[in-house]
Amino acid sequence: VSFPWQKREISNFDYLMYLNTLAGRSYNDYMQYPVFPWVLADYHSETLNLTNPHTFRDLSKPMGAQTVERKRKFIQRYNEVEKNLSAQCHYCTHYSSAIIVASYLVRMEPFTQTFCSLQGGSFDVADRMFHSVKSTWESASRDNMSDVRELIPEFFYLPEFLTNANHFELGCMQDGTVLGDVQLPPWADGDPHKFILLHRQALESDYVSAHLHRWIDLIFGHKQHGSAAVEAVNTYHPYFYGDKMDLNNIKDPLIKSTILGFISNFGQIPKQV
């Protein structure tokens, strides 16, 4: 079977936007913002080779299972969690939330104000701010057990979000780096337009076209929940599955408000399509 995006009848970008819309994701809701995949794993080379499979992220695995060691730790958490917590899951954080969206777009209004209001009125500690594509990939794919974030559509068409054109004072990192424009991979030559161009080419590449359906299964399809999700190391805290939670049957207002707060702060699984 070949899919419409594999036959080039529709671009991968358009197909992902279509799926996001079907699943109830919208630019109008930071809590259910369109979610796009990390497609590359190479943020260090001088030139980007889109014919080499090693250039790309493994689209058949969620961000929590991109390395063998990380996957092992999350499976261990899943197996141990029932002894410590009430909810058995691999991840207690989400791949898309209001704060993730606002942190990516923090250099542009109105997202700057949104980010600050979500942070209690100010920017975050500089070291935790989105400042480098490479370090964000390393955090989400390897280093940080509480970071499994995916991307947003703007990574594939909007160079402006990568520059601090408004000259916001975003702070200074512990190593002395003053936060300004987002640090780009070497293959982008410091040019946000080149980054977006090559990143979009990567999204539309033969490799991604051939493997994109595997990521779609994880986010929008049959590996989203249930036994297939457990097998794929792709289960999240029960509160993230908003449409599976029957809030009308929860009589305790404190529990209900806790769940709603959890969803608004930490994200929501898209509706299954």
- Please give the pLDDT value at position 2: 61
What the block records as the tokens of 257 is 């408000």
Gap between the Cα atoms of 219 and 270, Å rounded = 7
- Amino acid 26 reads S
Predicted confidence at residue 141, as pLDDT, reads 98
Interatomic CA distance for residues 23 and 148, integer angstroms: 20
Give the model's pLDDT for residue 88: 85
What's the predicted TM-score (pTM) here?
0.91
| CB 24 within 8 Å of CB 270 | yes
CA triplet 249, 223, 144: central angle to 5 degrees? 90
Query: Phi, psi at residue 172, to the nearest 5°?
Result: -130, 130
Listed in sequence order, the residues at least 6 apart from 172 whose beta carbon sits closer than 8 Å to its beta carbon are: 126, 178, 179
Q: How confident is the model at residue 259, as a pLDDT?
A: 73
- From first to last of its 273 residues, the chain has per-residue pLDDT tens of 566 656 778 999 999 999 999 999 999 999 899 999 999 999 999 999 999 999 999 999 999 999 999 999 999 999 886 555 567 899 988 999 999 999 999 999 999 999 999 888 888 888 889 999 999 999 999 999 999 999 999 999 999 999 999 999 999 999 998 999 999 999 999 999 999 999 999 999 999 999 999 999 999 999 999 999 999 999 998 888 876 666 667 778 887 777 777 766 677 899 888
Q: Give the per-residue pLDDT at 261.
A: 73
CA atoms lying within 13 Å on the CB side of residue 51: 0
Does 270 sit behind a cis peptide bond, omega within 30 degrees of 0 on the bond before it? no
Is there a contact between 103 and 155 (Cβ–Cβ < 8 Å)?
Answer: no
Angstrom distance (rounded) from CA 266 to CA 261: 8
At 264 the pLDDT is 67
**Euclidean distance between the first and final Cα of the chain, in Å?**
19
| Cross-strand partners of 91 | 236
| DSSP track, 125-185 | PGGGS--BHHHHHHIIIII-TT----B-GGGGT-GGGGS-TT-----B-TTSPBP-SPBPP
Measured distance CA(214)–CA(218) in Å, rounded: 7
**DSSP letters along 96-128, please?**
--HHHHHHHTTTSTTHHHHHHHHTTSSPPPGGG
